[in-house]
Chain A
Amino acid sequence: MTRAYVKRRIKDVSDVIAGSILLCFSLALVFYLVPNYINEPPILQNPMMSPRWLPGIVGWMIVLFSILLILQGFLLDRSGEDDERQIEKGSTRRFILMVAALLIYVALFEAMGAVFTGILATLILFVAHPVRTWWAYSLAFVFPIAVTFLFVKVMNVPLPISPIGF
């Protein structure tokens, strides 16, 4: 099956892909997740009272609509309507640095404290784009300190503090 053949038969590939993923998910939901991960009480006066009833109904509706979405992808070309789906990709380095900053937040937030991780991740993101105004790098230090202070001291919302005390 060539690429051109697929393009000719499928009007909107992303709809077909989204529909297929949702179909697989909904079938797993209906036949595996609902029966295995929702405990049903032994006695029920009405099946609609069951904790499984609504998830089951929702699951079957997702099955139905994902099939309709696949059909829509085969029959209707909506690519013109959904232009925002098309993006011109930027450099991979920038994206990887952003992922690194996100991982720093989740991996080090509790261990190293809000201020330290905030400074580190912000600096990485400044380098990622990159920010060329030298004084802007001072914001990477000012904001994490100021916002942490605001949360902890003014709003009384605790944030983790690093072992060395900030």
Chain B
Amino acid sequence: MENFSEVIAIFFSLDNFIAIALGVVIGVVVGSIPGLTATMAVALALPFTFSMQPVAAILLLVGIYKGGMYGGSITAILIRTPGSPASACTLLDGYPMAQQGHAKKALKTALYSSVIADFISNIALIFFAAYLAKIALNFGAPEFFWLICFSLTIIISLASGSMIKGLMAALLGILLSLVGLDEVFGSQRFTFGNYNLMDSISFIPLLIGLFAIPEIIEFYRKKALPHIKAKASGAGLAFSELKRCMTTIVRGSLIGVIIGAIPGTGATAAAFISYSDARRRSPNKANFGKGEVEGVAAAEAGNNGVAGATMIPLLSLGIPGDVITAIILGAFMVHGLTPGPIMFQENLSLIYALFMGIMFSSVVLLLVGNVAIKYFSLIADIPKSILFPIVLMFCVYGAYAVNNDTFDVWLMLAFGVLGYIFNRAAIPAAPFLIGFILGPMFEDNLRRSLLIGHNDLSIFVRGPITWAFIALTVGSIGLALYRFISARREARNIADKA
């Protein structure tokens, strides 16, 4: 009861409500603009949270994340340009619907599916995060060491594109995380005598550089493309149609929850799996891809079902499941909090206040989404030639604000160039960021295990939890190899047929 009143006291603050509303609005706006991603928006918003209370700061970022997930569907439906990679599936049926004059219906379907999926995902988060954190209280350093190994391997094995490049990106991320003073011996590592590097590489310039600057460089490097205008027209969604889609939405949400809870999989995979599952089961199978309302519902439910669930490993184990939760982990750290099982013991009220805020964000998403259908599609009409200079200004201001030092602006630009090279070489940036975050945790748990075990390596196989994580790690490497071999076989078959 004492805890409950504390939760209420933490949550019912005007700052939190403003943060959620502002976050969702920013997310929807940014998500609805092709080329600007929710990841970019969350990264750019992080410096603004320095002076905020921890709950308001996290809720602002969560709001942007959720708004961005839905916002991406607006342009996918209206101009066949997904605002986020996860919305790519929505356009399969959303755009044909818009072409047939049912744009408003498609947008409403996307909104209601997103909100329902988001709500289900939040329930899963609240239920499973606490449960998982309770189990994780039994983890020691060797268990966490293997959990980090598993997280790294599963993220790499499920990353899109080349597995070798995913691994390489993660290794480079780990390497970069080691720059600075060694925590045990105090030795300098790769500081090259520069005092700015002694306190390790700042997270925010890295983040902004890696996820915002490459888009700007690419825009000014690429040939200018004609600007397409968007328009939301036609009738809305009838209740009978929503009812018909309900089973698909719930099933898609559950798919999203399961996929979201596994580190590294992400919303794009969830949207496509949910879509193909709905198509397989639907009586209107033949209409999929030609403007089927159920197709939009399935894609959006899968996509948004991930949003809450992806925070399960973050809050309960302290392991980020994707890039956005990695940024949110950074926000926790900026405010002196370390997500994980200990946080459930020491800051339970704060966690439940966060849960309340996350639930409330679904309601805000519904309200903002309805307005968005009418007006926010106009925002998608703002040309990138006006937007990107302003985004660059935010990048520079945000990077500088971390330590009030131009060195961080240089650092951000260097990571921007690195991110651009990554894009050109098809090296995924997500494993790089996850490697950067998990690198120090990996080393810390390795060393602590050795100290606890008096340098005896048998501590790494000390019980069933470690065995289970070893099996999962080996399994994820096996999965990666299987995906690699089957992709090669498929490519060879296509080549033979051609």
Residues of A within 8 A of B (CB): 14-15, 18, 22, 29, 33, 37-41, 45-46, 48-49, 51, 54-55, 58-59, 61-62, 65-66, 68-69, 72, 76, 78, 81-82, 84-85, 87-90, 94-95, 97-98, 101-102, 105-106, 109-110, 114, 117-118, 121-122, 125-126, 128-131, 133, 136, 139-140, 143-144, 147-148, 150-151, 155-160
Contact = CB atoms under 8 A, between A and B. Distances in A.
A38 B396 contact: no
A140 B392 CA distance: 12
Contacts of B394: 147
B364 interface: no
Given A37-B190, A41-B187, A84-B426, A106 B406 contact: yes
Contact of B393 (A51, A144, A156): A144
Contacts of B165: 18, 69
A153 B175 CA distance: 38
Contacts of A109: 396, 400, 406, 409
Given A54-B446, A126-B386, A147-B397, 18 more contacts: A39-B187, A49-B447, A49-B450, A51-B184, A55-B189, A58-B171, A58-B178, A62-B171, A68-B164, A69-B164, A78-B162, A94-B224, A98-B217, A106-B410, A118-B396, A128-B220, A151-B48, A159-B400
A76 B450 CA distance: 42
Contacts of A130: 385
A131 B385 contact: yes
Contacts of A114: 397, 400
A65 B167 contact: yes
Given A122-B389, A140-B389, A90 B223 contact: yes
A65 B162 CA distance: 12
A40 B410 contact: no
The 9 closest A-B pairs by CB, nearest first: A129-B385, A125-B389, A98-B220, A51-B182, A82-B426, A39-B187, A90-B223, A46-B455, A122-B389
B220 A38 contact: no
Interface size class of B (residues with CB under 8 A): 35 or more
B424 interface: yes
A69 B190 contact: no
Contact of A98 (B162, B171, B216, B488): B216
Contacts of B383: 131
Contacts of A40: 187
A87 B400 CA distance: 31
A106 B216 CA distance: 16
Nearest to B389: A125
B426 A33 contact: no
Contacts of A128: 220
Contact of A101 (B162, B187, B385, B392): B392
A129 B224 contact: yes
B221 interface: yes
B404 interface: yes
Contacts of A69: 162, 164-165, 168
